Amino acid sequence: MVNSTVPYFILSTYIYVGSLKYLFFVLIALLYFSIVFVNTSLIVVICVNRSLHEPMYMFLCSLFVNELYGSTGLFPSLLLQILSDVHTVSAPLCFLQIFCLYTYGHIEFCNLAVMSYDRYLAVCYPLHYKSHMTDNKVVIFIVVIWLYSFVKFTITLCLTLRLTWCGKIINGLYCHNYLVVKLACSDTNLNNLFGLFGIVITVLVPLLPIFYSYMKILKVCFSGSRQMRRKAVSTCAPHLASLLNFSFGCLFEILQSRFDTTSVPSALRIFLSLYFLIIQPLLNPIMYGTQMSKIRHVLCYKMSL
């Protein structure tokens, strides 16, 4: 049950832009529409075409679904706040947004980790790939990724909901669990300990298979033929670019929420806080859609009909 001492929170980072808010509203709405369109299009392409019913594309489908999920957790609220002169959000909606955005980030990271393991099997064990990465394993991986993320952040949110708040001004553009916990006047030691443990688990669990997979892939690249290196690079480049982009975006947000950034220009702080929530959902489908030859060929064929 949501603590009744604070019925709403105030988002303090929005800048007054006068009549320009309508221009920003249109631009953000077009961006949201683009994200929904490109991600939905690729999900439909992968689901409809049996030639794309392979592990790599199933993991991509899970990734694109997560982009839609995370974008929906941010953009509708962002669009309302742009038009509003009083940037308030009710406590229930604030906690719902926290849950959506945190699970989005965790699912994204775990999905990229599993995809790195999939690329490792494809590059290092091409002859045994289908026996190692079966359809049942793909389904299990995807279900575990989503369930694990939901369970983990349900615990985090329950720990936050038990608090009593003395403040209601969130120094951000959207609801952020760490910033909300900082407003509490009750004991937050358990939240801080679980939060620290959660960050370690969230980062280390995905990073271990990612580092292991890419170490093995690099070993094969250096010891293999030029054709093998070219194939490995073309296979792993989109995934590696997506992983680095998302990691840097999350790092920007973590540093900004935990350290004093008042010396940084407001426009830059706003951009960095939204980076991993806007660029990643737009970059992934475009990058994978253009770099993955099978998806590109299917799209070209559909457009020529």
> Strand pairing partners for 169?
10
Name the one residue in this structure whose structure tokens are 């951000």.
172
The structure's pTM equals 0.88
Given this model, what pLDDT does residue 36 score? 94
Domain ranges of the chain: 8-304
Interior angle at CA 90, CA 88 and CA 94, nearest 5: 95
Q: Pairing between strand 8-11 and 169-170? A: parallel
Residues 108 and 57 sit within 8 Å (Cβ to Cβ): no
d(CA 64, CA 242): 12
Residue in 67, 111, 64 with CA at minimum distance from that of residue 206: 111
φ/ψ of residue 125, rounded to 5? -135, 60
Length reported for the chain? 305
Given this model, what pLDDT does residue 222 score? 73
**Which stretches in the chain have pLDDT values below 70?**
1-5, 16-17, 224, 231-232, 235, 260-262, 290-305
d(CA 31, CA 25): 10
Token representation of residue 240: 């590696």
Q: What CATH homologous superfamily does 8-304 map to?
A: Rhodopsin 7-helix transmembrane proteins (1.20.1070.10)
Residues 156 and 176 sit within 8 Å (Cβ to Cβ): no
Looking at residue 259, its amino acid is F
Q: Which residues contact 57 (CB under 8 A, 6 or more apart)?
A: 46, 292, 294, 295
Distance of CA 250 to the CA centre of its chain: 9
- Three-state DSSP class for residue 184: strand
φ/ψ of residue 259, rounded to 5? -130, 160
Given this model, what pLDDT does residue 146 score? 95
d(CA 214, CA 191): 34
